[in-house]
Amino acid sequence: MPFKANAARRHRIPKRQYRVTNWAEYDASLRQRGSLTIWFTEEAIAAWRAEPRRTRGGQPHYSALAIRTALTLRAVFRLALRQTEGLIGSILHLLGLDLAVPDHSTLSRRAETLEVPKPCSRSRGPVHLLVDSTGLRLCGPGEWLIEKHGTRRRRTWRKLHIGVNAETGQILASVLTASDVDDGSQVEPLLDQVAAPLASFIADGAYDQTGIYGIIGKHHPEADVIVPPRSTAVPSDDGKTTPTQRDRHLQSIAEHGRMGWQKASGYNQRALVESAIGRFKRVIGDALRSRTDRRRTTEIAIAIHALNRMLELGRPKSVRIV
């Protein structure tokens, strides 16, 4: 049973209830996410064919815009490359556009080096960055096949590290690594992708490491580091004279308890990054379809760009009622 070890105290924590205040707008945005209404602007039509290259090598037929368009539709509708080729062809035919359709081999090859625009923060001020990681399985035998016939090797997977804007819910940074990579080691690569100033860095106990505070202080000296210290943590040697942020967390926990510290520090916002991970897996899926690491990185970037566009259509605004 889940939470069996803490059952004695967890039943006394009432479940919070919320009410969505902008249901009509949010309901319309959800329908719009699944709309197949697609149009091509005159600028997009003109930019569909690639500019002629002036260096040695073959001439590309399709621009980066054309490849990104096809791969975005592939990510949103969970298609294979050949089905993506068919979808793009049918859309161009229905719109009456005389544009060439990139074949599945071209889509696979161009994904190796495709540049995807980096997400930008739309917050009105400094960003509250929420960081966490999750696992994504690689394409392989399904659960039914493994249960029926077994497998001789362990199923492989990759770890996705993300940084989420607490205000907008958009994913601002992402890193795809092997499954055995430590979460703390990817903090600096994530921070390098965030151009906006940070108001706070919020993560779970896996990021309670000595070097994390120094890395964040180097990039964003004014940011608050809100990471729960482990249960065996002790103050630093100079904790009474020149306390660090971690020392102040320990002092607050000693005075108000963990639940009181979470509420006072704003750590409870970390639940939003888990919501972003759940949104990613529900909309995009929990598996990577590409076969090489560079193509998987492009696949993740395309998926995040699509998710952020969906969030721009509308988000629920909730108020607590219980």
Is 120 contained in some domain? Answer: no
Contact 151, 114 (CB under 8 A): no
Question: How far lies 34's CA from each of 31, 89, 257, 313, in Å?
Answer: 6, 19, 45, 11
Within a domain: 319: yes
Residue 88 in domain: yes
- The total of structural domains in the chain comes to 2
Alpha helices in 34-63 (DSSP H): 42-46
Q: What is the dihedral of CA 137, 170, 300, 32, to 10 degrees?
A: 90
Q: Are 106 and 137 in a shared domain?
A: no
Domain that holds residue 246: 127-288
- In this structure, the answer to whether residues 30 and 96 fall within a common structural domain is yes
Domain-embedded: residue 6: no
**121 falls within a domain:** no
Q: In this structure, are 138 and 260 located in the same domain?
A: yes
**Does residue 10 lie in a domain region?**
no
What pLDDT score does 124 carry? 79
> What CATH number has the domain bearing residue 165?
3.30.420
- The answer to whether residue 5 sits within a structural domain is no
Q: Where do we find the tokens 């696979």?
A: 108
Q: 191 and 133, same structural domain?
A: yes
Q: Are residues 48 and 167 in the same domain?
A: no
Contact of 184 with 206, CB cutoff 8 Å: yes
Q: Are residues 109 and 150 in the same domain?
A: no
Same domain, 64 and 155: no
Find all residues with CB under 8 Å of 316, minimum gap 6, and list them. 20, 22, 23, 26
The values of phi and psi at residue 137, to 5°, are -80, 155
Question: 140 and 63: one domain?
Answer: no
pTM: 0.86
Angle 66-43-52 from CA coordinates, rounded to 5°: 60
Rounded to whole angstroms, the Cα distance separating 84 from 79 reads 6
Q: Which of 277, 248, 278 is nearest to 265 (CA)?
A: 248
Answer yes or no: is 9 within a domain.
Answer: no
Find how far residue 138's CA is from the centre of its chain: 17
Q: What is the DSSP string of 138-207?
A: ES---HHHHHHH--SSPPPEEEEEEEEETTT--EEEEEEEETT--GGGGHHHHHHT--SPEEEEE--GGG
pLDDT given at position 144: 57
Q: What is the pLDDT of residue 274?
A: 95
* Helix or strand (DSSP H, E) at 136: strand 127-138
Two structure tokens written together for 277: 């991970």
Question: 139 and 50 share a domain?
Answer: no
Per-run averaged pLDDT (10 residues), the chain, 322 residues:
57 76 90 83 90 74 93 94 95 92 94 90 87 88 59 76 95 94 95 93 93 92 94 85 91 92 93 95 93 94 94 86 78
Q: What amino acid is encoded at 196 in this protein?
A: A
Do both 150 and 297 map to the same domain? no
Q: What is the DSSP letter of 107?
A: H
Cα–Cα dist 27/315, whole Å? 9
3-state secondary structure at position 25: helix
Q: Say if residue 205 is in the same domain as residue 304.
A: no
- Scanning 128-185, the segments in alpha helix (DSSP H) are 143-149
Statement to judge: residues 154 and 272 lie in one domain = yes
- What does DSSP assign to residue 317? -
